[in-house]
Structure 1
Amino acid sequence: MIPYGKHSVDQADIDAVVDVLKNQFLTQGQQVPAFESALANYCGAGFATAVNSGTSALHIACMALGLGQGDWLWTSPISFVASSNCALYCGAQVDFVDIDPVTRNICVEQLASKLATAERRPKVLVAVHFAGSSCDMQAIKTLCERYDVAVIEDASHGLGGDYQQGKIGCSQFSDMTVLSFHPVKSITSAEGGAVLTNDAQLYMRCQLASKHGITRDQQLMHGESEGDWYYQQIVLGYNYRLSDLHAALGISQLSKLDNFIQRRRQLAARYHQKLNHLPLTLPQPDEQSAWHIYVIEVEADKRKAAFDALRQAGIGVNVHYIPIHLQPFYRQLGFQAGDFPRAEHFYAGAITLPLYADLTEAEQDKVVETLQRVLA
């Protein structure tokens, strides 16, 4: 089976993890701070907080912004459920903004209209960089500043990609950026995530939220320290720490990220070339994208048959994503079919083709040839 996504791990990655196992602390050692520093330097952000998943990163980013009871968070319906669940973890409420059918990201025009007419505007907008292509962050930031809305970039698909003259993650047009290091992402730490920001206060809050709300920083304590052993819990936090094993793998992987992205971009361009004559909708070409996934659209009434035939041929296609508002849990919150028609139309025909750094051209040709036969 050719999977839709797959990690690329070499001997250097294995050696980095083994070195931690043999010679270093497994947790709360030097690898996590080193990984955080490397991430911030690569993306061009001031600070990074590494955690155990992208979902945890979204949660603490919302906590850092003070999202809570009575507040609203808006995001895209075309994303993994974590992009909206993070609001519910904080006791806030969720709404969505429909997508641009070409970019598949939040539609700036729909966002502008909704912000202008909403009875209750959001405290936070989570802008999802679907498939690795950045949202129009400059336009989004301009809109959100007008209405005093904080912006989190959900760049779980985007590490290694670019926007304008900077790296996705630099947070030039947002308060924070969230990353994921799940095994199918640009790089992996097996599991893991991070929050990037240029705001020292938000960074401090993320650090506290991810580590039980505990500090050893004298400047943050209430009263004097009692000694080198002393710590204080000053807020309610969570155990979202990343282990040094995961961080060591992440550091090793980060050194190869640009090569991974170059290969993903080559494969995406090759898909464009080989599929453009078929009766389907291709993703928008984007030379700045990280190309986390490559999603085509077929006619809705042909999607299941095409999906099943590809799977039967050993092509591990997938679908990204079932619109969040159509999930049974979210229907219980009052959402229903028809609420976000562009997202629903996209989902009805979406098929995610295999795309990862180690995908060979022969394997990609098999995907293309099988798809041609299926659609014929």
Structure 2
Amino acid sequence: MSERFLPYGRQFIDEADIAAVTRVLKTDFLTCGPEIDRFERAFEKATGAGHAIACSNGTAALHLALAGLGVGDGDICIVPTITFVATANAVLYCGGRVFFADVDPATGLMTRATLADAMARAGGPVKAILPVHLGGQSCDMAAIADLAREHGAAIVEDSCHAIGTRRSGGQVGDGRFCDAATFSFHPVKTLAAGEGGAITTNDAELAERLRRLRSHGITRETGEFIGDPAEPWRQELHELGWNYRLPDINAALLGSQLSKLDRFVARRRELASIYDRGFARFGEHVRPIARMPDQDPCWHLYVLRIDFEALGTTRIEVMNALRERGIGSQVHYIPVHTQKLYDDPSPLPGAAEYYRTCLSIPLFVGMTDDDAHRVIRAVGDVTGHKAL
């Protein structure tokens, strides 16, 4: 195979990113230094949020957000079953109970109706709801927030796929519909930090608590001390936290990446448009996921819905055939409620249908237009469709 292998996702690193990291390596601060504050201020501007709190990864962001909002032993939280396991696991880290919501099979997203069904099955007060913006598309947050507020539930938007996504009247992360939004900067995401995460919120008190919790729960605010504030070494532990700090090395890379966000968003949209035009010719058995109205997503994933059974094949056969042609693919995601840890027998037919047909194909900033057309041709070859 002479052509390069195209994974489903990968980071884009340029000389400016390398220079940003090198600069920090030559300073006194590899962690707990000025790069954190610099990134947080830039991320607030990028998302439109009042406060941004950097942390070590997207899972830590979810855990911190729930802990900061007081989720504790036995508290019920609603999570869509189509997500990465971290969304649900963060509830367990806090001692909470997960009830899974079904999704729209056309988009993979939780809806107001599937949320209402999950709340009814939970049979008790719901502490928090965690909508997941799958692949870059946002849930209908106005409808979800309306129902959540009726029941006094907090909202943590899992926005790990959706930095740069715009929706009617605002953007993901601006805090209009939630108490907190969480982000991931894993290498396959739009912005790469190696590992990294962030939380945005418009609640100043919550932001301060999250900053404390990410660093063991220690406070250095003299007005909060129970000991002598004149002691220059004094720092006090008032509640249990974690070491979820983001090192300055990662923050420097992330800040450099953030400066290119508009360019990254535009390129991902261009590639998605090429795919849209190409797959429009394939017919009903190979089609992109449905589009949400009043949105301009930054596509983290490009997901096809393929009726493997109708085509007389299997997903395994298609993925292996694509790999032979140098095309990577992935499944996002196995419904979490079916994982051994959760083993939830709830019938969630929307999720089952979405999972039966979903396949993520390559989408990353370093792809060329020719790469995208090559993927379209390869999918056509292995599914029996001629790509015009």
> Which TM-score band applies after superposition, normalised by the shorter structure?
over 0.9
Normalising by structure 1, we get a TM-score of 0.96
Match of 2:286 in 1: 280
Match of 2:337 in 1: 325
Instruction: Give the deviation of 1:55 after TM superposition.
Output: 0.2
Contact 2:302–2:363, Cα closer than 8 Å, also in 1: yes
Q: Does 1:305 align with 2:321?
A: no
- Relative distance call for 1:221 and 1:339 in structure 2 (3 A) is farther
Which whole-Å deviations, capped at 9, do the CAs of 1:156-215 have from their partners, x for residues lacking one? Answer: 000011121212100111000000000011111110001110001211121111100011
Deviating 4+ runs (over 4 angstroms): none
Task: Report 1:162-177 matches (<5 A).
Answer: 162-177=166-181
Task: Report 1:215-234 matches (<5 A).
Answer: 215-234=219-238
Task: Report 1:106-185 matches (<5 A).
Answer: 106-115=110-119, 118-185=122-189
- Paired residues, what number? 372
**SS in structure 2 at match of 1:127:** coil
Which whole-Å deviations, capped at 9, do the CAs of 1:216-261 have from their partners, x for residues lacking one? Answer: 1123322441333221111100000000000000111000001100
Contact 1:46–1:197, Cα closer than 8 Å, also in 2: yes
Q: Does 1:356 align with 2:364?
A: yes
Instruction: Give the deviation of 1:354 after TM superposition.
Output: 0.2
Aligned partners of 2:303 and 2:319: how far apart in 1? 12
* Structure 1 counterpart of 2:290, one-letter code: Q
Contact 1:74–1:124, Cα closer than 8 Å, also in 2: yes
Aligned partners of 2:164 and 2:226: how far apart in 1? 41
Aligned partners of 2:116 and 2:91: how far apart in 1? 21
* Structure 1 counterpart of 2:353, one-letter code: H
Instruction: Give the deviation of 1:23 after TM superposition.
Output: 2.2
Task: Report 1:8-19 matches (<5 A).
Answer: 8-19=12-23
Aligned partners of 2:179 and 2:60: how far apart in 1? 17
The gaps in structure 1 that reach 5 residues or longer are: none
Aligned partners of 1:15 and 1:118: how far apart in 2? 51
Q: Which moved more, 1:295-304 or 1:239-248?
A: 295-304
- Relative distance call for 1:3 and 1:220 in structure 2 (3 A) is same
* Structure 2 counterpart of 1:370, one-letter code: A
Give the alignment partner of residue 261 of structure 2, picking from 233, 257, 280.
Answer: 257
Instruction: Give the deviation of 1:116 after TM superposition.
Output: 5.2
**SS in structure 2 at match of 1:194:** strand
* Structure 1 counterpart of 2:305, one-letter code: E
Aligned partners of 1:326 and 1:64: how far apart in 2? 28
Instruction: Give the deviation of 1:300 after TM superposition.
Output: 4.0
Aligned partners of 2:131 and 2:308: how far apart in 1? 27
**SS in structure 1 at match of 2:372:** helix
Aligned partners of 1:221 and 1:162: how far apart in 2? 43
Q: Does 1:54 align with 2:65?
A: no
* Structure 2 counterpart of 1:3, one-letter code: P
- Relative distance call for 1:90 and 1:117 in structure 2 (3 A) is closer
Q: Which moved more, 1:98-107 or 1:250-259?
A: 98-107
Aligned partners of 1:6 and 1:130: how far apart in 2? 17
Aligned partners of 1:79 and 1:220: how far apart in 2? 39
Percent identical across equivalent pairs? Answer: 40
Which whole-Å deviations, capped at 9, do the CAs of 1:28-63 have from their partners, x for residues lacking one? Answer: 110011111111111011111101100000001010
Q: Which moved more, 1:179-188 or 1:222-231?
A: 222-231
Q: Which moved more, 1:268-277 or 1:296-305?
A: 296-305
Contact 2:135–2:299, Cα closer than 8 Å, also in 1: yes
Contact 2:100–2:118, Cα closer than 8 Å, also in 1: no
Contact 1:155–1:169, Cα closer than 8 Å, also in 2: yes
Aligned partners of 1:239 and 1:94: how far apart in 2? 25
Normalising by structure 2, we get a TM-score of 0.93
Instruction: Give the deviation of 1:274 after TM superposition.
Output: 0.3
The gaps in structure 2 that reach 5 residues or longer are: none
**SS in structure 2 at match of 1:20:** helix
Aligned partners of 1:165 and 1:188: how far apart in 2? 27
Report the aligned-residue RMSD. 1.4
Aligned partners of 2:117 and 2:170: how far apart in 1? 28
Contact 1:221–1:234, Cα closer than 8 Å, also in 2: no
Q: Does 1:237 align with 2:241?
A: yes
Contact 1:35–1:251, Cα closer than 8 Å, also in 2: yes
